[in-house]
Structure formats: structure tokens, C-alpha cells
A and B are shown apart, each in its own frame.
Chain A
Amino acid sequence: MSAARKRVRALRLNNRPVEVLAADNTLLLDTLRETLGQTGTKRGCDGGECGACTVLIDGTPRLACLTRTQECAGHHVETIEGLAENGRMSRLQRAFHERLGAQCGYCTPGMVMAAEGLLRHTPHPDEAEIRAALGGNICRCTGYVKIIEAVQDAAGTGAEAAP
């Protein structure tokens, strides 16, 4: 990458302003993982098909492997690292943990961020809405049932309360 790097103006990451340099052809996924050391966002297919790199940009799920870092100037990027509050898992993260919504765990950050994006504008989604929102996220352990139950649990729409 020989292109000149320049500052990404007014970028916020997980509610904090960040200073970062990126060339025009640098991808957000590389900036997050390689420059900022935020490795919670995973590189899966690396081509927009699997959802492992899902982050929120201004609250909407987007794929970090298809997004240029410079596109994010003036915007708020949220990753899995930003969900915990004071070291405690968010309700959605806890639901994934308690409902066994993670097996190998590789798809989990993307799943959680896609679900987080859904719950922010649809706090009580039905199962069809959850399935649609997670449609672009692949779990190769195929643990989809538990993942959907986890989101239902976090939204309070599950069949039963968490034990």
C-alpha cells in the first residue's frame, strides 16, 4: 500500500474520538484490527458474504470488509468492544452467553452487532425479523437456533425466561 495516508477526520469509535491515519484504499476492517488493535471484529470470507466483520456505523449494521476507512470520516463506528459497560457484558452479550449462542465463537461478534443494530430500532422483534436481520451472518457451527433464542432472550420475546 503506497498511497499517502491521511487523517480520518472526526471519526468516533465506540463513543470516543479516535485519531487514525488511513490511505484512500484502506479498509475499515484493516484499520480496526491492524492499526487500532481492535481484533474483536473478525475477518471471515473477506468478501461481503459472511457477516463476521459486521460493525455498526451510525447505528446501522455494515460490513467492515467492504467499507473504506475514509468513508467513516464524520461517523460513529461501533464494534463488539464497545458493548460492555464498566467491564460487564451488555444484556445482549449475556443472552448469547447464557443461551449458548456461541460455539466456536468466530461469527459471534458479527452476530451480536447485527442483532444490536436490530434491537436499537426494533426492541421487541418477532422471530421473522430476527432471522431477516441476521440473514447475512453465517455460523459454520450452524448454531442458528441458539443464536435466535439468545436474541429473543435479550429482547424479552423468548418462549421462556432465562434460567
Chain B
Amino acid sequence: MELLPDFRVATPVSIAAALAAGKRHPGGRFVAGGTDLMVNLRHGIGAPTALIDLRAIPELRGIASGTGGMSIGAAVTLAELAAHPAVAAHYPAVAAAAAAVGAPAHRAAGTVGGNLCLDTRCMFYNRSAWWREANSFCLKHEGDTCHVAPTGKRCHAAFSGDLAPALLVHDAAVEIAGPDGLRRQPLADLYAEDGAAHLRLAPGEFLVRVALPPDPWPSAYAKARARGAIDFPLAGVAVALRRDGDTVAGLRVALTGTNSRPFLLEGTAALLGAAVDAAWRDRLGKLVQKQVLPMRTTLLAAQYRRRVASALAQRLAGALGGAAD
């Protein structure tokens, strides 16, 4: 590990002060728990001149719920989110995803905003500075070739946050603060399918809160990982499924760990109005297999991650859909 770069830390106590700090330090980075950023900095990835710690800003804290749904501050820790009774009761995929991030010490420090803005990961990227240099660096940082797909034009590093798919199936929106004021947009629009530029945040912008609409559908989250106790997802799947009697009346499936962005599965409308049986699960599984794009970014084979994503989606939808078989 390298020494940390020589940065200053600012700890603003208001959104306005954080935006001003962002303007004052154009080479700075916003940070909260730092459980991912600090490791990357120690690997010599990036050298911000300042870290702007957002955790002391009141608007980014706390979980509020009411008739309008639920509002979760970006600086809420993953441990707080996982332990919140109303989250577990109404948005179970969100609580399960928060509880599946890292180990207890990571969840005590890591935050909602940090997990949503997590850097993408790749076995050619999350390496020490000397390792990457010996390997001619890579497209994502300091190099010009993607070692995963050398003939391709883009970075294939995988988005590996657990929280995003769980929030996507609950139709979450995010509030973003920036130099032009506060804006609100669907969470799905925060992401782009490019491992080197997967976050659609302008310079100086940061997440303030996540909004979940009321009347959530039953949901669940599951992930496959190399180390069961603590690891990023090889593939992570969230499913929200609403039933009308024996048939599926609403279905949202979202994935992480397989692409450069977390995304909502398309084409689920074709699965509505039917009962969840083996043939239905098979169709869902094929839909997942078609849309995931795992590449050789982890030590485990891409084909395994494709199949495990499909299997997890079928298993979760089967349980939520009350499959008899």
C-alpha cells in the first residue's frame, strides 16, 4: 500500500458550505465513510487535493417515513439502514442489500451515498500502483487499453454496489445537490454503461437523499460472492413482485455486479398475468441471461456470473411469487 496523497479535509456542516468547498477545491473529492475511496487512494488511484467529508450535513442524515414513502439521507450508514425496522418491514430488499455489504466494520462506516456512488471494480484496476504499472495500466486509469476487452473502446469494470438494485426495484429517486441547486431524478438515470464514467454527476455535485415511493411491492435481494462473509457481488439481484391471486401483477428485477452500471431488467411486462411456475421462471432466467454483460473483471468466470445472476433472479421471484413447485 502507498501512503495517502497529501490532501486537506473539509467538513462542511451545510449543503451550501459543501458546494463552496467543492468550488474551492476543484481537485477535491466528496467522501463519507471512505471504505472504498481510502483503499483506492492507498493504491495510488487518484490524488485528490482535498476530501470533503459530507457526514456532518444535517440534510444528509436520518431516515424519515410517512404517507409519502420513505426518505433516506445519503450519509445514513449501511448499518443504520439495515437495522431500521420500517425499512426491513416495507422495503426488505433494501435492508437485505445494506446488510450484505462488506463486514460489520464496513457497514458501520460506509454510507448509502457512498454505496450508490461506489467506483466500478475490475481485477486489472483494484491493484497496487506497481502491479498496474507493470501491466501497462488500463483504460480506466492512466492507460489506454482495456485488458478485459483489448479490442474494445470502453472500460468494462463492473459496478459492484449492493444497494442500487434494491432501490431500483422500489422505483427510487435521488436528490442531487450541485452548483445549479437541488435536482431530483430517477435513480436509474444516475448511471451509464461505461466502467470509466459510470456516474452521471457533474463536477461539484453530490447525493443528498434517496426517496422511496409509498405502497412498496414485496421484495428481496441476494448476491453471489467469492467470500461469503465479506465481498463485493459477483452478481447481485433484487426482485420486487406484486401478486394478484396466483398470477404476477407487477415485476421489477434489477442487477448489479454484472455490468458497468446497476440496471432494471427490460421486458418484464411479458411475464405479467401468469403464475410463477417452472416455465415462467425459465423465461425470466433467459431474460436475465440475455441482458447481463459479465466480463473477465473478476477471478470467477464471466459465464458463471451470467448463470448465477439468472439463478438468483429465478430463486427470488419463485419465493416472492409463491411458486408451488
Contacts and interface: CB of A to CB of B under 8 A. Distances in A.
B42 to A, nearest CB: 6
A119 to B, nearest CB: 13
A132 interface: yes
Greatest chain A CB density within 10 A among B4, B9, B104, B108 is at B104
A3 B8 contact: yes
Nearest to A132: B104
A120 B51 CA distance: 33
A63 interface: yes
26 contacts: A2-B6, A3-B7, A24-B8, A24-B9, A25-B9, A27-B4, A46-B42, A47-B43, A48-B106, A49-B230, A51-B105, A61-B104, A61-B108, A62-B108, A62-B109, A63-B106, A67-B34, A68-B9, A68-B34, A70-B9, A71-B53, A117-B104, A131-B229, A133-B104, A135-B104, A136-B230
A20 to B, nearest CB: 16
B6 A136 contact: no
Interface in B1-47: 1, 3-9, 34-35, 38-39, 42-43
Contacts of A133: 104
B69 to A, nearest CB: 29
Contacts of B230: 49, 135-136
A25 B6 contact: yes
Contacts of B321: none
Q: Which 8 A-B pairs have the closest CB atoms?
A: A136-B103, A135-B229, A25-B4, A24-B9, A46-B1, A135-B103, A61-B105, A66-B38
Interface residues of A, number: 29
Interface of A: 1-3, 24-25, 27, 46-49, 51, 54, 60-63, 66-68, 70-71, 114, 117, 131-133, 135-137
A2 to B, nearest CB: 6
A51 B103 contact: yes
A133 B298 CA distance: 26
A47 B39 contact: yes
B104 A136 contact: yes
A47 B9 CA distance: 20
A131 B51 CA distance: 34
A136 B9 CA distance: 28
B129 to A, nearest CB: 13
B102 interface: yes
A9 to B, nearest CB: 12
Contacts of A61: 104-105, 108
A80 to B, nearest CB: 15
Contacts of A70: 9
Nearest to A25: B4
B39 A114 contact: no
B234 to A, nearest CB: 16
A137 to B, nearest CB: 8
A66 B1 contact: no
B19 to A, nearest CB: 20
B108 A1 contact: no
A1 B6 contact: yes
Contacts of B105: 51, 54, 61-63, 114, 136
Given A24-B9, A135-B229, A136-B102, A60 B108 contact: yes
B158 to A, nearest CB: 18
Contact of B7 (A24, A67, A114, A131): A24
Interface string B105-141: 1101100000000000000000000000000000000
Contact of B3 (A1, A24, A49): A1
Contact of A136 (B3, B39, B229): B229
